[in-house]
Chains A and B, each alone.
Chain A
Amino acid sequence: MREFIRKNGIIVVIAALLVAVIAVSSIVAGGSDAAGGAVNTLVRPVRGFMSGVVSHFERLYGYMYGYDILETENGELKERIATLEQEYREYDELAAENERLKKLLGFSEEHASYEMTQAAVLSQTASSWQSAFTISRGSASGLKEGCCVITESGFVIGRVTSVSSSSSVVTTLLDTTSSIGAVIWDTGETGVLSGDFELMKRGRAKLAYLPDSCTLSPGDTVITSGAGGVFPRGLVLGTVERVETSASGTSDWALISPSADLYNLEYVYVITSFGEE
């Protein structure tokens, strides 16, 4: 016995300490079954380690086995997203076109005598000194120099100033060469809407040659007078932003904000002929 203790004493002491620690810890843990608790305590780290290893291998297996399926599924989903995005874009375009055509229909019904051609805006002018753009219709579509160009809502954009067989140049009402006879919708007073270089850079035009007794106020609508025969009467040019007096102090002029959004045009409508209404 003494021989046994001398040889295995340390092991026996460690085993006894281990048993004691397990017993104490299971009592502290409050387990009713002290033996079961002790075994559980002893096995818990091993079980945790084994569980981790198994779950890792499970994940690895699942990844290897399911990768092809996931890849296929991912590809299908990407295709589906692309199709939906395309459909969404088409829907957006159709909705915008529908809106545009509705407005045009309303305008056409109001002005049945107008003959109009739709044209796409191709590019803005490369010149820093003009306000003009190129459209996709030319003399082959019946366009002529001087034709009036409007939006689908009937807001004046400008006039055709140069025509080739398949494209034309439209000079906007902001350009310094532009001069349009105008009438104030509310008061009936007349003036001339003309381009001014400084105002052109700010997207505005000038309404000059107003009568002395002019009673303009901001927000008044300015329409075409029809004088000169280039523009039909009654098309909307813009609204009065403010009224100013000339440097000499002898006459008033008004700053006009065009009703047409001249910087975001996609399609325009060229009035090729208009009868008396």
Chain B
Amino acid sequence: MLRKHKKIILLILLYVPLILICFILQAMVFSELPLGGAKPLILPVASMSVAMHGGRVRGGVFGLFAGILSDVALGSPTILFTLLLTCSGIIVGVLFETVLARGFPSYLLCCAAVLIIAAFCQMFGLLFFRGQSTSAILTTAVFQTIYSLFFTVPMYLLTRPLGRRV
């Protein structure tokens, strides 16, 4: 029992700095460095990596907090990312525990899927309710997804030791 508590405390001590670093990078550093008018989503990428290496429980919990912080960083009062990252953390965790092989290609695929869903949810209102230019919206969505995928390599390498050893 004591060992289990120690493990939980250790996990908190390891994942809290990770999530904070990702939040700072997304909200304060890369928000000033747009690429093609798009800014990267780093917290979803980190969330998927934790889900792959740590499983559905860690993926879900990390996804929940990463989602809350994403909603704060993106300045939207909605709970879009809270829902999206919690659900995707659990689903991706289950997939890696059952059918998917743990490795970079499958991780990259999962990240791309979540980022595309996130971009679609973000552009939904602009696309269908505000009548904005489709090409400009799609270009931004593509740039945002590709820019975010650059962060898969460091996140994969950073969270791999946490998933295996703890």
Question: A residues engaging B (CB < 8 A)?
Answer: 123-130, 132, 134, 162, 169, 176, 196-198, 201
The listed residue with most A CB atoms (<10 A of its CB), out of B38, B123, B132, is: B132
A-B CB contact pairs (8 Å), 20 listed: A123-B27, A126-B26, A126-B27, A126-B30, A127-B74, A127-B122, A128-B38, A128-B122, A128-B140, A128-B143, A128-B144, A129-B123, A130-B74, A130-B75, A196-B133, A197-B133, A197-B136, A197-B140, A198-B135, A201-B136
Q: How far is the CB of A1 from chain B (nearest CB, A)?
A: 99
Is A201's CB under 8 angstroms from B140's CB? yes
Q: Which 7 A-B pairs have the closest CB atoms?
A: A198-B136, A197-B132, A126-B31, A198-B133, A128-B38, A201-B37, A126-B73
- Residues of the A chain whose Cβ atoms lie less than 8 Å from the Cβ of B32: 123-124
The listed residue with most B CB atoms (<10 A of its CB), out of A162, A176, A196, A201, is: A201
- Residues of the A chain whose Cβ atoms lie less than 8 Å from the Cβ of B37: 128, 201
Q: Within B117-142, which residues are at the interface with A (CB < 8 Å)?
A: 122-123, 126, 130, 132-133, 135-137, 140
- Tell whether B39 is near chain A: CB-to-CB under 8 Å: yes
- Tell whether B28 is near chain A: CB-to-CB under 8 Å: yes
Is A128's CB under 8 angstroms from B76's CB? no
- Residues of the A chain whose Cβ atoms lie less than 8 Å from the Cβ of B73: 126
The listed residue with most B CB atoms (<10 A of its CB), out of A124, A125, A129, A196, is: A129
Is A126's CB under 8 angstroms from B133's CB? no
Is A169's CB under 8 angstroms from B136's CB? no
- Tell whether B77 is near chain A: CB-to-CB under 8 Å: yes
**A7 to B137, alpha carbons, bound, how many Å?**
109
- Tell whether B161 is near chain A: CB-to-CB under 8 Å: no
